[in-house]
Structure 1
Amino acid sequence: MTKVENFVKREIVVNAPMEKVWEALTKEEHLNKWYTKEAKLDFRVGGKGYMDHGWGATSEGTFTEIVPMRRFVLQGNDGDFTTITNVEVVDEGVKVSITYSASYLEEMDAASKENMLFGTGQFLENLKSVYETGLDNRKNLWQAWIGIVHTTHHESIGTEILQVNDGSAAANAGLQPGDIVIGLDNVPVLGYESFERFLNSKAINEPVSLQVLRGAEELELRSNVEPYPVSY
């Protein structure tokens, strides 16, 4: 993950031929295999692109640059948010990088930025899975939560709670804004992504033990795992 001024980037290497990876990124029927619930693309400079990602998220815009087998750029309808996709042949296969650029990214709060990059990473991992093993993992993504907004703590291992939703499992467990979660079931939490991955591995209604720093005090709190509030 790279963060520089007004853009952020996520990348992965897929062990597949360039032609297949390019199709996976640019053709409706192939996008639907690993990424979108529905894609509508007029893939040409000046053409429109619409993608329903599932979980209530959509994106759309205009293709402003296409270099076959190298890169393409989708300019969002708001005129600011831009998605730049690059592909490059490397020893292990094809490196795919997705860069988001917008003036407001500098001011975006850390939790929102981490959530966006984590989501992109999840889909890129699914691209790798589908084209290397044939396994589509989307049914296993974003199933569980406890009702918090959090971000990687900037000074220590863990993730800091910024918001606890009223009536959520986290609220019932006694979690508070400012708490730093350093472990789940005594497995160390290294940051935002570490927390999300571990939590999503738990079954719905299964209890999870949270090791928490609250000021100078270390606490252990127990929370039930709830269904993610937005279905696929």
Structure 2
Amino acid sequence: MTRVLLVEDERAIADTVLYALEKGRYQSDWCATGEAALEALARRPAELIVLDVGLPDCNGFDLLRRIRELTEVPVIFLTAWSDEVDRIIGLELGGDDYVTKPFSPRELVARIGAVLRRSSAAPKSPSDALSGSFVVDDERLEVFFGGEPLQLSLYEYRVLTLLIGRPGKVFSREEILQRAWEDPGMITDRTIDAHIKAIRRKIKEVDPAADPIRTVRGVGYALKPEGASG
């Protein structure tokens, strides 16, 4: 049974969500603080995390950065903040969905199911595709660079494999948005740029001299052909 970790400090909301998760046939763990969540993840992994932004001991956005050091499982933000900037920040950090309070518990469970289906579905890229120094394992949703796994979020994975699949082709930001996101209306050019920046940083963690992604100013991005032969 799929395990969901709920990180929410308001007991009444937590009880409502936990009941809805039980009805949806999910196993669940509940933590009221960020530190407790990190300890819970270290003890027992979860397949998805529902994360409140306003926790008593930390900001949910900051907590996600620490969570990403442990796991790349999907994260749904749960928050009373409805500002668009906050939503964009959450998505840029690697969040997979953003639910604003007050919300329907049934809708939240439906969104959990949708995110889990997306995360388990292999993107349209060749199985174990080779592209120069890159190796794509689309069954495990992993990309290896120079033999080392890149710790990518789901959307970073989708963006990078899109580029790997057509080395040399310049993908516009709009094209990347339409092909990598299910709800393009919520995403901006800034989001695409932030994901590319994160991908580049993770590649340089493996090889500081590597720069396989080309920026075409005013248009978009491409994987350099010289880094994509084979």
Structure 2 length-normalised TM: 0.32
- Name the one with the larger strand percent: 1
Flag the structure with more relative contact order, 1 or 2, with Cα contacts below 8 A and sequence separation at least 6.
1
Which of the pair has more CA radius of gyration?
A: 1
- Name the one with the larger helix percent: 2
Structure 1 length-normalised TM: 0.31
